Structure formats: C-alpha cells, structure tokens
Amino acid sequence: MNNNHTNIELLQQKVALFSDQQSYNELFLHFYPSLQQFAFSFVKSKQLSEEVVSDVFIKIWEKRKTLHNITNLKLYLFTSTRNTAINYLKKKKGEQHILAEDYWVELNSVYFDPEKLMITAEMVTRIHKAIQSLPPKCKLIFKLIKEEGLKYKEVAALLDLSVKTVENQMALALKRIGSEIGFNIKHSISTTTKPA
C-alpha cells in the first residue's frame, strides 16, 4: 500500500511538473472506478456518474500545474467528485439540500480478505447481505473507510459530518455485520470509555 501511495505521488508530480499525459491516464484509470461508484451514490445514474468523474478529471488536467500542492490526492478527488455531483443535482432539480441518507451505495466487494480469514462462500454471502442491509449513510461511510481506505476524519469532512457521527456509524455497521455472521465484534472507538 505504501508503494502504491508513492507511485500515486510520483504520477501526480509528473502530471504537475511535466504535463505527462501517460501519468495522467494512469491516475485516471486508478481512481476512475471508485470515483464513478461514489458519484453514482449521489446521482443514481451510471451515465451521469461517468460524466461527473470525467468532468473532475478534465478540471484536474486544466489545473495540473497546481496538482503538486495537493497533499492527499485521493481525498481531493473524492471531495471534487462529491461537489461536482451535488452541482449536477442542483442544476437538474433546482436548489435542494442533499442529505447523506439520500446516498445509494453499491459495494464492490466485502472488505474482508477471504484467503486471510479462510471464510466460506456462504460467509461471504452473509457478510455482503449484512452490508447491503445497512442504512444508506452507514453503508456509504463503511465503504469509504473499508473499501477506499479513507480515515474517519477525512470521511467526516467529505460528508460534512462530525467525526463522532462517522465513528458511531462504523460501530453500527460492524455490530450489524458481526450480528449477521454470528461474531461479537467489539469496536472500541474512544479511549475515554470507562471499563465495566
């Protein structure tokens, strides 16, 4: 993962400093699937979500000379995708307040690595079912943290929520998933919790 992060930074610098089209294409191919799925959670249209992500990458290319100033490209791209998707919705439906509860998320995969956990196909199905049954906001937060690797603080900023709300939603997600698969998942969020 660290090597992948270094590679992303290198590609980012090549685009910023040398307008390297090949590096830009590699960044696009690397981030496109996740960003398209994230945009879909807002706009609920495959075509529109593809357009949103394309617009984000067009803006990235247009502003490529400032790309080296971005310290967390992944978070920047997710934030840009969110903002672009919301702008599309505002244009489409007029001004409206977009709530996280309105987001729809389709999870690509279960975040558990079946080989590492040696879980059965039935268990994977149960986990996937548990994830799909999560409330929309909870599912979106779970996906961003477990599938996309964002930090709680980053997800909170991205979705305009408090870090505590993100922590609570993750605790709820893990509890529900654990309940569905028969595990008692204890998710310690805060070090200030007093022992029983």
User: Looking at the 3D structure of the chain, how many domains does it have?
Assistant: 2
Domain enclosing residue 172, as ranges: 100-181
CATH code of the domain in which 144 resides? 1.10.10.10
**Cβ partners under 8 Å of residue 187, min gap 6:** 170, 171, 174, 175
pLDDT in tens, 39-94: 988 888 899 999 999 999 999 999 999 998 999 999 999 999 999 998 888 887 76
Given a contact cutoff of 8 angstroms between Cβ atoms, the answer to whether 6 and 70 are in contact is no
Given a contact cutoff of 8 angstroms between Cβ atoms, the answer to whether 4 and 49 are in contact is no
**Tokens representing residue 37 in the block:** 């799925």
187 occurs within a structural domain: no
Regarding whether 107 and 146 lie in a shared domain, the answer is yes
pLDDT in tens, 24-35: 999 999 999 999
Regarding whether 118 and 57 lie in a shared domain, the answer is no
Bigger pLDDT: 2 vs 13: 13
193 occurs within a structural domain: no
Sign of CA dihedral 85, 87, 93, 98: positive
What pTM does this model have? 0.64
Regarding whether 11 and 55 lie in a shared domain, the answer is yes
